[in-house]
Amino acid sequence: MMIMHFFILLSATLHICAEYANRRRLIYVFKPLTTTLILLICATRATSGYAAFILAGLLCSLIGDIFLMLPQDRFIPGLLSFLGAHICYIAAFTVGSGFRVSFLLLVPTILGVTLFIKLLPHVAMPLKIPVILYMLVILTMFWQALEQAGLAVNLHSILMLCGAALFTISDSALAFNRFVAPFRHAPLVVLGTYYAAQWCLASLARFL
């Protein structure tokens, strides 16, 4: 299993380097390869409800990766693919204890309002509704991870919360880079947190 983690790190690093160098052929290899390797961690452990939903989410993410790396603009299909991924992750987080509501809802609410204020004025009208829907779903995913951490602080809830938080950071950085102002180290921030998030959620399948 350790060798698999090494190859994930290597593939993710090569993908990020390829993005900086704008080497399209390398991107076409290492972007889907990295997600596929993370997926394989989960596929070997898909014996629980959590693992099955995470596996489905990773498959949706792989499809989204492919849409977003194509030379044509496939932003909407990519967005919908990752929307499906986050719905699967919400299902994974709530499969045991159910959908929970507590005062922790304040955290994603404050974060969501901040993102709406900063982001939406820069989003073109045809994209506003898909972007708003996506933001609501990913914030719900983050919220339910917080709820699980509120139930019990252990390795399971920490990995879950780290994965959800890193995914929220990754998508927020991606949206800022695309709609507000491109920044130099977007590949490192967006992809580094993205792959770390997927790794956290897939690795948790070993314990559930």
Per-residue model confidence as pLDDT tens digits over 48-68: 788 899 999 999 999 999 998
Q: pTM for the full model?
A: 0.93
The parent domain of residue 12 ranges over 2-204
Distance CA 198, CA 37 (A): 11
Split at pLDDT 50, 70, 90, the class of 150 is confident
d(Cα 66, Cα 80) in Å, to the nearest integer?
Answer: 12
> Which residue's structure tokens are 């299902």?
91
Q: What is the pLDDT of residue 48?
A: 77
In the chain, the number of structural domains is 1
Over residues 80-118, the pLDDT tens digits come to 999 999 999 999 999 888 888 889 889 989 988 998 888
The pLDDT tens digits of the residues spanning 170-179 come to: 999 999 999 9
Residue 42: the pLDDT is: 82
Whether 73 has a pLDDT exceeding 80, the answer reads: no
Long-range contacts: 8-16, Cβ < 8 Å, 24+? 8/34, 8/37, 8/38, 8/41, 8/195, 8/199, 11/37, 12/191, 12/192, 12/195, 15/191, 16/187, 16/188, 16/191, 16/192
Looking at residue 57, its pLDDT comes to: 95
Element (H, E) at 37: helix 24-43
Burial environment of residue 19 by CB neighbours within 10 A (0 to 12, 13 to 18, 19 or more): buried
Q: What is the C-alpha to C-alpha distance for residues 156 and 205, in angstroms, rounded to an integer?
A: 9
pLDDT value at position 151? 83
Helices 24-43 and 49-69, axial angle in degrees (round to 10): 170
Is the predicted pLDDT of residue 45 greater than 70, yes or no? no
- Mean pLDDT, the chain, rounded, equals 91
Query: What is the three-class DSSP state of 87?
Result: helix
